[in-house]
């Protein structure tokens, strides 16, 4: 019997959760065959797009709201509320022509008609919210490159940038930039987080925090399929908030949830073969979707720490080449993901480094011995992680011990880890960087010295004047080919200074019930439910 079934407390939690869910099966919503159900173990903190900072918030927000533009599954920028746009030759002025058939969800706060059309002034208001310091949106940085914007006509929005920034359209696909109605947000204030009104394929119905979130089909949604049928196909979306990942998986196997996202170590061997295929006993029940993910998993090194081992470039290099990434992926991830043998920029984005990170334990051991001779001390480091990545850190601990580096592991709650990482209180920390928009600049911004944490994402406090110059130059290059060359140089510089230890480039992986159709994946792992169809269970 698999190890994950042997834990008594685990079984008790499963039984308790099953009883709880089964007791709700008399609810009319749960009897509806067109309700898409999934679990969010990390919980949702806000349904306001100004706070769409993490996947657990972004996923439901993406069902409720729309922006000017969106990404297709190949990360191409396509129309959403803007049906067309133009960019001036100097790359500074963007003009968007808006659709005239987009309505906000129904609300008495709109007056007798209970809704109204979206106009360009709504985007002006929505962007103002991102800039408003009183709102303190974590997405305010999206407007850093923007000089001003205006509604030149009722359905024409003009945005002017301070400097050319080729990745700007990609920024606008983020849900931070979704349109919200002034009447509703001004009425609710901070409580808009739990009373959202958008334009998306689903509208907000109910949210019992820490228990359940329900969205209903928007019958007036503006997008249609190739046959002219109005989206979405589903009648509702129901999101549970069960914090135990193992319970989530068991309930998924019982058909209580329609899909699970990602792969947890607690059930990976139960579900997948060592080569990453679905186990035979589940092949008639489940489908697996897998593809590239713009997510780099890494160990960050806080370079302003006074530990001599951190200050030593030899030790940082030794760590990078002193463990077998390919073996780690096979052993701990059942071959889900790609060993990070290049730089920090993941596979699938132009501009990644041509530098190869080769597993070389003999040379790594030599570098460590040189350090010991020079300093008369053994390199000792502490890696901070949360419980979800303990297995990876333990693997690093064992492997690096073989080359002479002593590693201590500090397991912290996720929120505490995030805070400590931002405030520079950690020597080494396990982290990941998921692309906010499909441009390698998003990854390189982590190493710009102007972005030192806590005010920016440079958690390692890496500083290199040459890198900063290249970064600034790249922002003004309209030519993709020239910009990508700068990106490669910057990525190579990072991998010659070793402020981070790239572990692997992740893959999007989803397990879906056989009666779910239209579920697709994309390299930013955005959940899109407007195209989903659900049949009766097999």
Instruction: Map tokens 């592991």 to a residue.
Output: 409
Nearest to 495 by CA among 341, 322, 292: 341
Instruction: Map tokens 């303990």 to a residue.
Output: 390
Instruction: Map tokens 């893959």 to a residue.
Output: 507
Contact 66, 199 (CB under 8 A): yes
The answer, yes or no, to whether residue 392 has pLDDT greater than 90, is yes
Q: Give the residue-averaged pLDDT of 339-356.
A: 83
Q: When comparing pLDDT for 22 and 179, which is higher?
A: 179
Q: pLDDT band at residue 477, thresholds of 50, 70 and 90?
A: confident
Q: What does pLDDT average to over the chain? A: 91
- Structure confidence at residue 8 (pLDDT): 39
- Structure confidence at residue 3 (pLDDT): 43
The answer, yes or no, to whether residue 120 has pLDDT greater than 80, is yes
- Structure confidence at residue 201 (pLDDT): 98
How many whole angstroms separate alpha carbon 135 and alpha carbon 486? 36
Say what the pTM is.
Answer: 0.84
Q: pLDDT band at residue 29, thresholds of 50, 70 and 90?
A: very low
Any idea what DSSP says for residue 415?
A: H
Residues 6+ apart with CB under 8 A from 73: 520, 521, 522
Q: Residue 391 is inside which H or E element, if any?
A: helix 390-401
Residue-wise over 119-151: b if at least 16 C-beta within 10 A, else e? bbebbbbbbebbeeeebebebbbbbebbeebeb
Beta-strand pair 380-385/406-411: parallel
Nearest to 204 by CA among 60, 55, 27, 34: 60
Rounded to the nearest 5 percent, the helix, strand and coil shares of the chain are: 35, 20, 40
Residue 444 tokens read as 């390189």
The answer, yes or no, to whether residue 7 has pLDDT greater than 50, is no
Any idea what DSSP says for residue 50?
A: G
Residue 274 tokens read as 């060592």
Q: Give the residue-averaged pLDDT of 468-493.
A: 91
The answer, yes or no, to whether residue 221 has pLDDT greater than 90, is yes
Q: pLDDT band at residue 75, thresholds of 50, 70 and 90?
A: confident
- Structure confidence at residue 538 (pLDDT): 60
How many whole angstroms separate alpha carbon 503 and alpha carbon 344? 9
Mean pLDDT lowest for which of 65-69, 197-201, 336-340, 354-358?
354-358
How many whole angstroms separate alpha carbon 104 and alpha carbon 125? 15
- Structure confidence at residue 264 (pLDDT): 84
How many whole angstroms separate alpha carbon 47 and alpha carbon 204? 9
Q: Give the residue-averaged pLDDT of 134-153.
A: 93
Domains and CATH numbers, the chain: 32-243 (3.40.190.10), 293-507 (3.10.105.10)
- Cis peptide upstream of residue 232 (ω within 30 degrees of 0): yes
Q: How many CB atoms lie within 10 A of CB 455?
A: 10
Contact 60, 201 (CB under 8 A): no
Q: Can you say how many angstroms the Cα of residue 456 is from the centroid of all Cα atoms in its chain?
A: 17
Q: Can you say how many angstroms the Cα of residue 242 is from the centroid of all Cα atoms in its chain?
A: 20
Q: Give the residue-averaged pLDDT of 75-94.
A: 94
Nearest to 288 by CA among 528, 512, 517: 512
- Structure confidence at residue 37 (pLDDT): 98
- Structure confidence at residue 33 (pLDDT): 65
- Structure confidence at residue 10 (pLDDT): 45
Phi and psi torsions of 317, nearest 5°: -70, -40
Mean pLDDT lowest for which of 262-266, 276-280, 497-501?
262-266
How many whole angstroms separate alpha carbon 209 and alpha carbon 199? 23
Taking the CA atoms of the chain, what radius of gyration do you get in angstroms?
24
């Amino acid at each position: 019997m698999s190890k994950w079934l042997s834990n008594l407390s685990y079984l008790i939690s499963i039984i308790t959760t099953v009883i709880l869910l089964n007791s709700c099966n008399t609810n009319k919503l749960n009897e509806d065959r067109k309700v898409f159900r999934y679990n969010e173990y990390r919980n949702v903190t806000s349904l306001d797009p100004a706070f769409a900072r993490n996947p657990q918030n972004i996923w439901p927000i993406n069902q409720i709201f729309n922006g000017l533009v969106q990404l297709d599954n190949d990360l191409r920028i396509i129309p959403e509320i803007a049906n067309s746009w133009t960019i001036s030759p100097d790359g500074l002025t963007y003009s968007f022509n808006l659709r005239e058939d987009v309505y906000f969800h129904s609300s008495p706060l709109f007056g007798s008609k209970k809704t109204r059309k979206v106009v360009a002034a709504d985007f002006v208001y929505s962007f103002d919210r991102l800039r408003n310091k009183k709102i303190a949106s974590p997405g305010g940085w999206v407007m850093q490159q923007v000089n001003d914007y205006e509604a030149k006509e009722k359905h024409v929005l003009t945005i002017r940038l301070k400097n050319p920034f080729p990745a700007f359209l990609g920024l606008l696909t983020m849900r931070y930039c979704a349109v919200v109605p002034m009447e509703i947000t001004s009425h609710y204030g901070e409580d808009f987080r739990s009373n959202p009104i958008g334009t998306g394929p689903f509208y907000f119905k109910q949210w019992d925090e820490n228990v359940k979130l329900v969205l209903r089909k928007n019958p007036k949604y503006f997008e249609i399929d190739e046959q002219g049928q109005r989206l979405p196909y589903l009648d509702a979306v129901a999101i549970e908030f069960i914090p135990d990942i193992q319970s989530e998986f068991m309930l998924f196997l019982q058909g209580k949830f329609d899909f699970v996202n990602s792969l947890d170590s607690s059930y990976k061997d139960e579900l997948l073969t060592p080569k990453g295929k679905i186990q035979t006993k589940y092949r008639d029940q489940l489908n697996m979707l897998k593809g590239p993910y713009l997510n780099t998993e890494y160990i960050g090194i806080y370079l302003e720490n006074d530990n001599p081992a951190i200050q030593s470039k030899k030790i940082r290099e030794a760590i990078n080449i002193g463990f077998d990434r390919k073996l780690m992926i096979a052993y701990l991830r059942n071959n889900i993901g790609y060993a990070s043998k290049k730089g920090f920029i993941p596979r699938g984005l132009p501009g990644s480094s041509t530098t190869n990170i080769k597993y070389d334990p003999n040379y790594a051991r030599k570098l460590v011995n040189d350090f010991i001779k020079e300093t008369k001390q053994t390199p000792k480091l502490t890696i901070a992680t949360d419980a979800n990545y303990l297995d990876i850190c333990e693997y690093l601990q064992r492997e690096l011990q073989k080359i002479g580096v002593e590693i201590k592991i500090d397991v912290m709650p996720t929120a505490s880890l995030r805070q400590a990482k931002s405030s520079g209180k950690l020597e080494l920390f396990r982290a990941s960087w998921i692309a906010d928009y499909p441009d390698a600049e998003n990854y390189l911004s982590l190493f710009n010295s102007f972005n030192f944490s806590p005010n920016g994402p440079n958690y390692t406090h890496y500083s290199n004047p040459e890198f900063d110059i290249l970064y600034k130059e790249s922002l003004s290059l309209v030519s993709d080919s020239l910009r990508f060359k700068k990106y490669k140089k910057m990525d190579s510089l990072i991998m010659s200074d070793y402020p981070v230890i790239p572990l692997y480039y992740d893959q999007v992986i989803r397990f879906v019930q056989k009666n779910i159709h239209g579920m697709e994946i994309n390299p930013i792992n955005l959940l899109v439910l407007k195209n989903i169809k659900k049949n009766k269970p097999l």
